[in-house]
Amino acid sequence: MHAQGKLILIKSIHTLVWLFFNVVIFYLLYAVVSNQIDIWVWICIGLLVMEGLILLIFKSVCPITLVARKYSDSQKDNFDIFLPNWLAKYNKLIYTTIVGIALLILIYRLLTNP
């Protein structure tokens, strides 16, 4: 497979991982807003902690981005994922904020529900 094909494969995988974590994040948000705290909430938190640890280990860079870098010298924020450039640029800020809000709501629910 040539470099462009490998980059497309990496971008596809990265986009699927991004979509998976969107489901995780928005399920977490839905569950805490609707006060439906169940085992899936804790699984979501575990997955998000795992993702956070991976980003911490790799100095806030997704390891998939590091692999994609081998096949592209583009300076665009979305060179490694099928997202609009503005979303790729602000992805961590947007989703960290959403997760933070969900966790605050979760804490409130846990403290106010018997």
Answer yes or no: are the C-beta atoms of 63 and 54 closer than 8 Å. Answer: yes
Q: What local confidence, expressed as pLDDT, does residue 31 receive?
A: 98
Kindly give the confidence (pLDDT) of every residue in the chain, 114 residues in length, as a single tens digit, with 9 standing for 90 and above: 898 999 999 999 999 999 999 999 999 999 999 999 999 999 999 999 999 999 999 999 999 999 999 999 999 999 999 999 999 999 999 999 999 999 999 999 999 987
Nearest CA to 41 out of 111, 103, 113 is that of: 103
Instruction: Give 4-23 as a DSSP string.
Output: HHHHHHHHHHHHHHHHHHHH
Domain segments of the chain as ranges: 3-112
* C-alpha to C-alpha distances, 37 to 8, 17, 48, 51, nearest whole angstrom: 38, 24, 16, 21
pTM: 0.93
